[in-house]
Structure formats: C-alpha cells, structure tokens
Amino acid sequence: MPLTEEARLLDQGFSAVRARNEVQLLRTVDDLGDLGIKCVGQFPEAGPEKVVSCIQTLGEVAVEKGLTVGLLDASVSLGRIGQEAARKGVEETVLAVASALVTLGKKASDSGMPVSLRLVATTLKEVGKEAARKGMEKAAITSQSLLKEIATFSGCEDLEVFQADIPSLIRDVGKSAAGAGLENAVISAELLLEDAQIALNWALLRKRKSLYKERRICEETCTPLYCLGELGKLSSRRKLELAAAQAALSIETVRKNAEAGYLGNTVLSAECLLDSFLDVKVPRAKLNRNAEEIRRLHEKIYSQFAEVR
C-alpha cells in the first residue's frame, strides 16, 4: 500500500537530513511527490494529505538544518501534488497543499534563512489557478488569502520588491477564476487588492515619499490598483456584473483614500480606471452583503492557518 511507502520515505528523509546528504534528500522528496500524485489519482480515499504532511515535515526539518535545497524541492513537490489534486477534483488535498506551502514559507522566514519566498508564493499561485480552472472556488479564495499572508513575512532577499509582486499573483488567480465564472473568487481578489492598495497609500504617506516616487509607482503594472482595474475590465467582458461592480466600488474606495492623503497621482490613476468601466447597475446593499461574507471567509482562513501554524 502507498502509505507503507510513505512511512519508509519519511524515515529515509530524516536520515538524509541528519547526514546533511542533500542529494539523498532531494531524491526522497521527489519520490514523495511522485507518491502523492499517485495517491491523488489512484487512492484519494487513502488520504493524499498524509503524503503532503510528510513533505512539509521534511521541508521544515531541512530549514532547521539550513538545507535550503530541501525547502525549495519540498515546495516544488507540494506544487506538483496540489495541481494534480486540482485537476482530479480532490479539494481537501489542494487545501492541505496551500496550508503546507505557507507554513514552509513562515518557517523559513522565522528561522532567518536567506531563502527567497518567491518560489513558495509562485507555487501557491499556480495551485490556486488550477483550482480555479477546475471550479474549486473555496480553494481559489484560500490561495489568494494565503498569498496575502505570505506578503507579511520577512526574510526575503529583497522584501520590498517581493511584496510588490504579490498583487499580480493574487490577480492571476482572480483571472483564472473569472475564466471559470467563479464570481466570488474574483471578488475575493478584488477585495484583497483594495486592501493592498490602501496599505500602499498609507505607506507612501507614512514614509513621506516624494510625488516622483508616487508617480513612478502608479506607472508600474503590478500595483494593486492596476491589478484591480484589470480584474474589473475582465469581469465586464465576462458579464460578471457583481464582480465588475465590486471592482468599481473598490477603485472608488481607493480613490477617496488617496484623495484624503493628497496622493494626486493615485487619484488620477483611479479616475482613469473608473472611466474605462461600463456602467453596471448593482444595488449597493447587495454588494456590501456579498463583500462582508467574503471578508468573513478571509478571516476564517487566516484563523485556521494560525491554528495550524
């Protein structure tokens, strides 16, 4: 049975870590990844999440021993399992992979390990995109929420640049959700991007950045505001009226926040985006109710992750 093999490989991985044998560790983690994919396809009832847990454990032990390559390979193997689970419709395994990835990133960050979190974040994005394509709205929203969580971690070689990339990863999951007609997952991305842009506005004010700095940031294509505009336009084209209306409302919220802080370039960027939207008539009360439900789901995801962590 696969689970007997899982136990053997876990013990083999522990031995490789103790001996600091990176080649053997990589081989073991890869074998666990193959086993996880096999479980997803042939033995989903046997609990592929147990294999996920083994890989996560080896990744954590590798971090403690300073074996960077072990962490990176664990992330890749988890991504392989997560995408296969999404393709096969095994949502519990997708969720387990998402949690494991973020836990590994947090472990590396807390250990002061000079490892980039970019691979962890990119892997989580790809798992989220595949889940969205297969209609797994909860898994897609979870991946978006945990991407936002990753953005709070330190320990990245260039933290500011890394954090600036996170909105585009959330947007990409949102785009896949829009393509699959998962309107709530699109709205989830829009709300997270709204929060991220407002946080960026406050950062600009707090650090007293120059107008030139603000203008340069507004011209970039990975800002939360720009990504929010992209999702809004895509939602309009896809006839996702609630998501399109939420994007417009979120951009207007960002505009008002920027206006209060005299961030003129951000205000102009928001106004230009609003002018490019079709006028979608959705009752504000309906928008607010839906947004509140999704924000409660975000909070539930964060609290569940905190418990696991």
Write the pLDDT tens digit of every residue in 233-243: 999 999 999 99
pLDDT at residue 130, rounded to an integer: 97
Average pLDDT, stretch 16-40?
96
Higher pLDDT, 129 or 204: 129
Structure confidence at residue 159 (pLDDT) = 58
Q: Is 3 a residue whose pLDDT tops 60? A: no
Q: What is the pLDDT of residue 281?
A: 78
Higher pLDDT, 280 or 142: 142
Q: What's the pLDDT score for residue 204?
A: 81
pLDDT value, residue 116: 67
| Confidence (pLDDT) at 1 | 46
Q: Give residue 117's pLDDT band: very low, low, confident or very high (50, 70, 90).
A: confident
Query: Which carries the bigger pLDDT value, residue 164 or residue 121?
Result: 121
Dist. CA 44–CA 308, nearest whole Å? 22
Question: Considering the chain, what percentage of its residues have pLDDT values greater than 70?
Answer: 88
- Section 44-67 average pLDDT: 90
Computed over every residue of the chain, the mean pLDDT equals: 89
Yes or no: say if 203 and 167 are a contact pair by the CB < 8 Å rule: no
Among 88-92, 116-120, 152-156, 231-235, the range scoring the smallest mean pLDDT is 152-156
Quick one: pLDDT band at residue 113, thresholds 50, 70, 90? low
Instruction: Lowest mean pLDDT of 25-29, 217-221, 258-262, name the range.
Output: 217-221
160/52: higher pLDDT: 52
